[in-house]
Amino acid sequence: MNILLTISFSSIASGIHHWLVSTIPNELLAKSIEMVIVGICLLLFLVPLCFILGYMERKVAGFMQMRYGPNRVGPYGSLQIVADTVKLVMKEGLTPTGSDKFLFNLAPVIMVVTCMLVLAPIAFAKDFQIWDINIGVLYVSAISSLAVIGILMAGWSSYNKYSLLGAMRSGAQIVSYELSVGLSLISIVILTGSLKMSDIVMSQETGWWIIRGHIPVIISFVIFVIASTAEINRAPFDLAEAEQELTAGFHTEYAGMKFAMFLLAEYINLFIVSAIAATLFLGGWMPFHIGHWEAFNHIMDFVPSSLWFLGKTFFIIFIIMQFRWTFPRLRVDQLLTLEWKYLLPISMVNTILVTVMAIMGWHF
């Protein structure tokens, strides 16, 4: 029983590391094998995750619209997404005539690679992180700005006016909403004094920032959720693919596995955004603690840290999914007005408030 309690993701990871280093004398070979293992683990985590998110999205949609959602294939329709995946794999990957074939095939790859890179500094469980880089938050916002290149590339190379329009829209949207995302992340960086993900999680040992940080942190949490929903092109900000106006926007011409890669990137992005919100505002893998309630805190410690992390992440994913079925799509001018006239000024003032709060030590 005691042995079972000490098993954690971090102990497994360090065990594999020590075993590899001791059995393989060549440092380069050992490192490469480790990288391959990490890559395989990521894929084994991400592909089922996308299945779950796809199923969850349909069920949440059904719930919101008072219908069943998928319910034919498998128990409660849970195998529907498998059938859809098989369908996507079997389809022909068309490349339209007149398109720039090199860029057309490169665009989905760039989208997926970008998502994978952003996953690196996210702490999945206690001491379980791919790369604890000392500029974690900055790294995340830097790499996620690469995603817009993939969208612009897809829109341009498709040789289709709908694709190009979608790409232009999403470019304007991502570039503007990046500012609000950055400013709302900065408020937590100010309070923590560090950009490192592990430091940010450790600073929330006595309480999550959303509770300790009073109203300014709640405001920046709300702004982060709104702005990052726009940054990952999800409804109500899905102007880039607005199906009624642009058929499917920047991925109109994509089919088969190339389309599946866009879908994969979209769901991974949803996970990443929620994971970052959970890490910065809701304490990441940190269990829920209340002041001096020793017994309560101790019980909370028994829940594995990975479950805490996934639970918080899925809570935020659930909120973002509900947006899609609650709000109508914004027009382009409304979208830009929302960012430049409301979110950006509010988050700027909010940053000053958080700074004052951090200097005076008003947070608890």
Binder to other proteins among 152, 210, 265, 286 (CB under 8 A)? 152
Q: Is 26 exposed, middle or buried (0-12, 13-18, 19+ CB in 10 A)?
A: exposed
Site stretch for other proteins (CB under 8 A), options 128-136, 210-218, 246-254, 349-357: 128-136
Q: How far is CA 41 from the centre of its chain?
A: 18
The residue range among 98-106, 227-235, 283-291, 306-314 that interacts with other proteins, by the rule CB under 8 A, is 98-106
Choose the binding region for other proteins from 73-81, 127-135, 260-268, 304-312 (rule: CB under 8 A).
Answer: 127-135
State the helix-helix crossing angle for 305-324 and 214-231, rounded to 10 degrees.
60
Which span sits near other proteins by CB under 8 A: 52-60, 97-105, 274-282, 353-361? 97-105
Rounded to whole angstroms, the Cα distance separating 4 from 56 reads: 31
DSSP state of 338: I
Q: Does 3 bind other proteins (CB under 8 A)?
A: no
Q: Measured from the CB of residue 114, what is the shortest distance to other proteins in angstroms?
A: 10
Instruction: Quickly list H helices, 7-146.
Output: 9-23, 27-64, 80-90, 101-118, 136-144
How far is CA 64 from each of CA 58, 67, 69, 238, rounded to the nearest angstrom? Answer: 10, 8, 10, 19
Least distance (Å) between residue 123 CB and other proteins: 17
Q: Is 103 a residue that touches other proteins (CB under 8 A)?
A: yes
Indicate which single residue of 10, 145, 297, 306 sits in contact with other proteins (rule: CB under 8 A): 145
Instruction: Show contacts with other proteins in window 301-340 (CB under 8 A).
Output: none
Tell me which of 80, 129, 141, 163 binds other proteins, using CB under 8 A.
Answer: 141
Considering the complex, state which of residue 169 and residue 312 has its C-beta at the smaller distance from other proteins: 169
First to last CA, the chain: 38
CA distances from 53 to 60, 139, 188, 195, 243 (A): 10, 25, 28, 29, 21
User: What token pair was written down for 297?
Assistant: 């805190």
- Which residue, among 264, 253, 241, has the nearest Cα to 93 in the 3D structure? 253
Would you count residue 122 as binding other proteins (CB under 8 A)?
no
Bridge partners (DSSP) listed for residue 125 = 128
Segment (H or E) for 335: helix 332-337
Q: Figure out which of the listed residues 52, 82, 106, 346 binds other proteins, where binding follows CB under 8 A.
A: 106
x/- mask, other proteins, residues 23-62, rule CB under 8 A, reads ----xx--xx------------------------------
Taking the least distance from each CB to other proteins, the nearer of 95 and 306 is 95
Site string (59-88) toward other proteins, x via CB under 8 A: ------------------------------
How would you label 301-311 residue by residue, b for 16+ Cβ within 10 Å and e otherwise? eeebbbebbbe
Q: For residue 293, give the amino acid letter.
A: W
We find the least distance from the C-beta atom of residue 29 to other proteins, in angstroms, to be: 9
Per-residue x/- mask for other proteins, residues 167 to 206, rule CB under 8 A?
A: xx--x---x--x----------x---xxx-----------
Do 346 and 252 meet the contact criterion of CB atoms below 8 Å apart?
A: no
CB of 47 to other proteins, least distance (A): 26
Can residue 149 be called a binding residue for other proteins (CB under 8 A)?
Answer: yes
Does 17 bind other proteins (CB under 8 A)? Our answer is no
The residue among 106 and 346 lying less far from other proteins, judged by its C-beta, is: 106
Backbone φ, ψ for residue 128 (5° rounding): -125, 95
Q: How far apart are CA 102 and CA 107, in angstroms?
A: 9
- The residues binding other proteins (CB under 8 A) are 27-28, 31-32, 100, 102-103, 106, 133-135, 138-139, 141-143, 145-146, 148-149, 152-153, 156-157, 159, 164, 167-168, 171, 175, 178, 189, 193-195
